[in-house]
Amino acid sequence: MRYGLVGASGRMGQEIQKAFAEHTLCLTVDINGETCDDTPQVIVDFSNRMALPRTIELCRLHRAGLVVGTTAIVQEDIELLRKLGEEVPVVQSFNFSVGVNILKMVLRQFAPYLEDWDLEICETHHNKKKDAPSGTAILMREVTGRNCPTHSLRMGGVPGDHSAFFANEGEVLEFTHRALSRSVFALGAYRAAQFVVNAEPGFYSFEEVIACAPRKSSSL
């Protein structure tokens, strides 16, 4: 796969280069300027919304798909991305963790079958994290449609654990996600890029990417 990278020198840009190590970085955009050695099949942008207009321009220019994980984008940006999706495949999400997205899908689909069970959510994060409960825990509550008790532990350097516990008189079901490192989002971006290279034009969520069977690198 030949890919382009917006924000190549940032922390997230470094993580992405590690996750895409077996592939060819042929276009970079950065505060210091641009490089372009070849035509990318997909452009990855986890930088900031200021960069977005140029990113969209480059996708059009190279007819490259787009994976965009910029977190501060607004409705107006989404509209521009939808429009780009008419020409090339675009994957947009605020959270590129495969595990968190699957946890969300499991809870959305199965919580209705467990309505007569008790439900509580626990999340643990490092002690530098200010907000509680975490954004992901709030999302978990939202997809279950239940305003259940939620416990937030703030301890040491824990990257981030989330659990939903369902229990009735005779049994307990536990659905847990644990982040191991910051490489999570870069690995998700990689999965999205694999998807984009073979997809029809369109505007896709990361859940839609996951719901396609994973493709092997060799098939790209």
**Separation CA 58–CA 203 (nearest Å):** 17
Decide: 20 and 193 in contact? Cβ < 8 Å.
yes
Residue closer to its own copies (CB basis): 31 or 173 = 173
Residues with catalytic roles: 125, 129
**Separation CA 159–CA 175 (nearest Å):** 18
Residues contributing to the site for its own copies (CB under 8 A): 97-100, 102-103, 105-106, 109-110, 112-120, 122, 124, 127, 149, 151, 153-159, 165-184, 186-187, 210-211, 213-214
**Separation CA 187–CA 175 (nearest Å):** 21
Give the neighbor-by-neighbor strand order of the sheet with 150-154. 150-154, 118-125, 161-167
Q: Is residue 186 annotated as involved in ligand binding? A: no
Q: Is residue 183 annotated as involved in ligand binding? A: no
Residue closer to its own copies (CB basis): 59 or 111 = 111
| Shortest Cβ 27–its own copies spacing (Å) | 25
Residue closer to its own copies (CB basis): 92 or 124 = 124
| Shortest Cβ 148–its own copies spacing (Å) | 10
| Shortest Cβ 144–its own copies spacing (Å) | 14
Q: Is residue 188 annotated as involved in ligand binding? A: no
Q: What are phi and psi of 25, to 5 degrees?
A: -80, 110
Tell me which residue has tokens 């896709």: 204
| Shortest Cβ 147–its own copies spacing (Å) | 15
Decide: 8 and 29 in contact? Cβ < 8 Å.
yes
Pick the closest to residue 42 from 22, 29, 18, 26 (CA basis): 26
Q: Is residue 154 annotated as involved in ligand binding? A: no
The two beta strands, 202-204 and 42-45, are unpaired
Residue closer to its own copies (CB basis): 35 or 95 = 95
Q: Is residue 127 annotated as involved in ligand binding? A: no
Mark the binding-site residues, compressed into ranges.
Answer: 7-12, 30, 69-71, 93-96, 126, 135-136
Mark the binding-site residues for (S)-2,3,4,5-tetrahydrodipicolinate, compressed into ranges.
Answer: 126, 135-136
